[in-house]
Structures are given as structure tokens and as C-alpha cells.
């Protein structure tokens, strides 16, 4: 069974790097607000140190993570082993959003593949690392990353993505502002 620690060990870093999908969870402070849980992939997660991680966030139908982080900075990442040894890993922390106009963008964006629709980087300081058994997680085989999001972003172009973000990504479903600039 799992155990809590305060940092990401080299073994856990290797586990993270071997996963094809991860999940990001955030929530607003208000009890009536919606908890957000999003699957991510496409080789967009990086361990920057024993207690710091980041992921490249691509344009999507909403921007709940940015809104919640702007309000309260709470974030949880989860990784599940769908093959090999059954393991679940959760990283709890405090995050913030880095937009393309930020001075940090130039340095951090180079750590990720160039992907159409890249909108922001989520940077998080990890305060708790928790593993658990993963005995109930099914065995599955990775086939490939989907290319639908990249094709959609390429078809929109930079101007189309900017307009889409203005229309769909400026506020959370609970009405919170989603800043990324």
C-alpha cells in the first residue's frame, strides 16, 4: 500500500514520465461551485524538481483550472499505472498559470513539445506526494495520442484560437475569471 512523502523521488519521477495520461483536479472555494477534473496527455507534463512540476495546457472547451488557481491556487495531479505494477500517484500542491506573455514562458515553454493551441503553462509547487495501490485500475494498452486537438487548433489558426479563448475561456462555468495573460 502507499505512503505520503513531501517530495518526488527519482523512482516516482520515472513513474510519472512513463505515463501517457494524467489527471488535473481543482475546485473553487465556494461549496456550490463545480469541482473540475480533466484528463491530459500528449507528453505535456514535466517534473522540474523534487517539489515542482509543470504542464503545458492546450486550448480546450473551458479553462476551469486557470480560474480556480487564480482564486485559490489549490491543485491535485493524479497518475495511474494502466500497465505494469499497479500504482496510483497523487501530487497535491499550489499552482499558478503562466501565459505566453510572461517572462517565465520563454524558459518553461522550451521544456515541452511545440503543440498547436498551447495556451498556458500550469506551474505547481508540490506540498504532498501520496501513492496508493492501484489494484482496482484496469490493465490497458496505449495505442497512440489522438491528433484531433492539434488538427482542430491548426484549423482555427492563431486568430481563431484567440477569438475562441475570448469567447469560451475567459470565465469558468461558475463565472470566475480565468486569467492566463
DSSP string, 13-42: HHHHHH-S-EEEEE--SSTTSPPEEEEE-T
For the segment 155-179, the average pLDDT, to the nearest whole number, is: 94
Is the pLDDT at 3 greater than 90? The verdict is: no
Q: Does position 181 have pLDDT exceeding 70, yes or no?
A: no
Predicted confidence (pLDDT) at residue 1 exceeds the cutoff of 60: no
Mean residue pLDDT across the chain: 95
Instruction: Give 131's DSSP letter.
Output: E
Q: Whole-prediction pTM value?
A: 0.95
Domains in the chain, CATH or no CATH each: 4-168 (2.30.110.10)
Mean pLDDT, rounded, for 26-47: 97
Binned at pLDDT 50, 70 and 90, residue 32 comes out as very high
Q: Hey, which bits of the chain come out as E strands?
A: 4-5, 22-26, 36-40, 45-49, 52-58, 74-80, 88-98, 118-132
Amino acid at each position: 500500500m502507499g505512503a505520503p512523502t513531501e517530495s518526488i523521488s527519482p523512482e516516482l519521477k520515472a513513474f510519472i514520465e512513463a505515463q501517457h495520461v494524467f489527471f488535473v483536479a481543482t475546485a473553487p472555494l465556494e461549496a456550490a461551485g463545480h469541482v473540475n477534473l480533466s484528463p491530459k496527455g500528449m507528453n505535456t507534463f514535466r517534473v522540474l524538481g523534487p517539489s515542482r512540476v509543470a504542464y503545458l495546457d492546450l486550448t480546450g472547451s473551458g479553462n476551469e483550472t486557470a480560474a480556480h488557481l487564480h482564486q485559490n491556487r489549490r491543485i491535485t495531479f493524479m497518475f495511474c499505472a494502466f500497465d505494469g505494477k499497479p500504482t496510483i500517484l497523487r501530487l497535491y500542491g499550489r499552482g499558478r498559470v503562466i501565459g505566453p506573455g510572461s517572462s517565465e514562458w520563454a524558459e518553461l515553454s522550451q521544456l515541452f513539445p511545440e503543440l498547436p493551441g498551447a495556451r498556458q503553462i500550469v506551474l505547481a509547487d508540490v506540498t504532498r506526494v501520496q501513492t496508493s495501490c492501484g489494484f482496482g485500475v484496469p490493465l490497458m494498452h496505449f495505442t497512440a495520442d489522438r491528433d484531433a486537438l492539434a488538427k482542430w487548433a491548426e484549423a482555427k489558426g492563431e486568430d481563431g484560437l484567440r477569438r475562441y479563448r475570448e469567447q469560451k475561456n475567459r470565465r469558468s462555468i461558475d463565472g470566475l475569471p480565468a486569467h492566463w495573460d
